[in-house]
Amino acid sequence: MSFFNKLFGALNKLEEMKDALEDVAESLQKTASEQTTSAPQTASPASAPVSAPVCTPVVTPAETKTYDTGDHYFASLITGLNFPGYMISTDVHANTLDSGAHPSCYPISYLFSKGSQPVLAVFVMNTNQYRSMTARGTYQVLEDHGIPSIRFFKGMENNREYVLNRIRENLN
């Protein structure tokens, strides 16, 4: 097995493990929120405290705000209604464009096509993924075929107008 096959295999395994951990964390959060909403109120009004201290979080300059701009957010924006005349494919693997692409290449989140000709690739990824070997392999395939690409990062402030305008600018 070549060095690159081992590297891509290891990266693929790491990404699968990360996804599995995210799924577990999400299910734990969901379970915890269901338990708190379904827990019966057993305290009587007489035993309730008269006034509880109000705790407000203090935001320090070192903290950063996270935004809920995951896959579902982009899926609601990137639709045929917002981009008439374009066919939009989701989770397109690089070997659809180039049969010689490595199996571990990062999938293209949204591929815009006019007719059968791809015209723009949009990536939605975490900030630590855009320079990975899997992403670089996909970028190379796109470059070889003359298809421009843009990326958005999950968890960043990607407001609706910014996302739509940036895609429209790159489509024209």
Shared domain check, 152 and 79: yes
Shared domain check, 96 and 26: no
- The pLDDT score that the predictor gives to residue 10 is 63
Residue 126 placed within a domain: yes
Residue 156 placed within a domain: yes
**What's the structural domain count of the chain?**
2
Residue range(s) defining the domain that contains residue 2: 1-36
Shared domain check, 160 and 89: yes
For residue 32, pLDDT beyond 90 = no
Shared domain check, 97 and 14: no
Shared domain check, 92 and 25: no
Residue 51 placed within a domain: no
User: Long-range contacts: 137-142, Cβ < 8 Å, 24+?
Assistant: 137/8, 137/94, 137/101, 137/102, 137/104, 137/105, 137/106, 138/94, 138/101, 138/105, 138/106, 138/107, 138/108, 141/94, 141/97, 141/98, 141/101, 141/105, 142/94, 142/97, 142/108
Shared domain check, 72 and 143: yes
Query: And the tokens for 13?
Result: 């395994």
Residue 59 placed within a domain: no
pLDDT higher for 158 or 11? 158
Mean pLDDT of the chain: 78
pLDDT higher for 172 or 66? 172
Residue 91 placed within a domain: yes
pLDDT higher for 4 or 63? 4
Determine what percent of the chain is predicted with pLDDT higher than 90. Answer: 36
pLDDT digits (tens, 9 = 90+) for 101-145: 998 999 999 999 998 899 999 999 988 888 889 999 999 999 999
Shared domain check, 159 and 84: yes
Residue 161 placed within a domain: yes
- The pLDDT score that the predictor gives to residue 38 is 56
- The pLDDT score that the predictor gives to residue 16 is 74
For residues 43 and 106, what is the distance between their CA atoms, to the nearest angstrom?
53
